[in-house]
């Protein structure tokens, strides 16, 4: 019996989910229930030109983890940065900020950084910098998505 297109899609999504959970467990066996603070891109911090999507693919995110966005304040040599939550994948892909919500302005990334808690299980969070009418998102690669998993 042949599978319909929708049945194939469900199988692909189920397989991807299992692989994601397996990969997350393999990458982070010592993670305990509770929250972790994850500095976005580690020592690279939040800046123009770093590929945050590649970085995010290497990190397992869990419910209650706290993302810390650290970025320099605007000055003569540094453009400002901010953090937006985009509403859906299409907005994320196109860097369309029309319905996005600013969660951190250019002054909130200094010293300890801006902290954002991942509260919802399997809800994709689409984070991006909206400066220069989305140029930082589009050309500067300042965007990534994270989908928190339940603790294992």
CATH number of the domain bearing residue 54: 2.60.40.420
The kind and range of the H/E element at 25 are helix 5-27
What is the pTM assigned to this prediction?
0.76
- pLDDT of amino acid 32: 55
Sequence-distant (6+) residues with CB within 8 A of 84 are: 97, 100, 101, 102, 103, 127, 128, 129, 130
- pLDDT of amino acid 8: 60
Query: 113 and 136: one domain?
Result: yes
Query: 91 and 42: one domain?
Result: yes
Backbone region of residue 59 per phi and psi (left: phi > 0; alpha: psi in -120 to 50; beta: other values): beta
Query: 2 and 52: one domain?
Result: no
Query: What is the C-alpha to C-alpha distance for residues 81 and 44, in angstroms, rounded to an integer?
Result: 14
Query: 13 and 82: one domain?
Result: no
User: For the residues 86-103, what does the mean pLDDT come to?
Assistant: 97
Query: What is the C-alpha to C-alpha distance for residues 99 and 11, in angstroms, rounded to an integer?
Result: 32
Is 118 among the domain residues?
Answer: yes
Boundaries of domain holding 25: 1-30
| Structure confidence at residue 132 as a pLDDT band (50, 70, 90) | very high
Backbone region of residue 104 per phi and psi (left: phi > 0; alpha: psi in -120 to 50; beta: other values): beta
pLDDT tens digits, 32-90: 567 899 999 999 999 999 999 999 999 999 999 999 999 987 777 778 999 999 999 99
In total, how many domains does the chain have? 2
Query: 112 and 59: one domain?
Result: yes
| Structure confidence at residue 7 as a pLDDT band (50, 70, 90) | low
Per the DSSP assignment, residues forming a β-bridge with 97 are none
């Amino acid at each position: 019996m042949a599978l319909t297109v929708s049945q194939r899609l469900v199988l692909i999504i189920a397989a991807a989910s299992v692989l994601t959970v397996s990969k997350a467990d393999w990458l982070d066996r010592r993670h305990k229930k509770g929250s972790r603070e994850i500095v976005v891109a580690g020592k690279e911090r939040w800046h123009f030109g770093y590929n945050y999507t590649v970085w995010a693919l290497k990190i397992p995110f869990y419910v209650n983890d706290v993302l810390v966005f650290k970025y320099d304040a605007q000055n003569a040599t540094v453009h400002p940065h901010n953090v937006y939550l985009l509403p859906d994948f299409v907005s994320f892909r196109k860097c369309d900020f029309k319905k996005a919500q600013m969660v951190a302005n250019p002054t909130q990334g200094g010293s300890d950084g801006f902290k954002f808690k991942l509260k919802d299980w399997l809800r994709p969070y689409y984070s991006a910098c909206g400066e220069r009418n989305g140029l930082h998102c589009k050309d500067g690669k300042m965007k990534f998505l994270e989908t928190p998993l339940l603790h294992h």
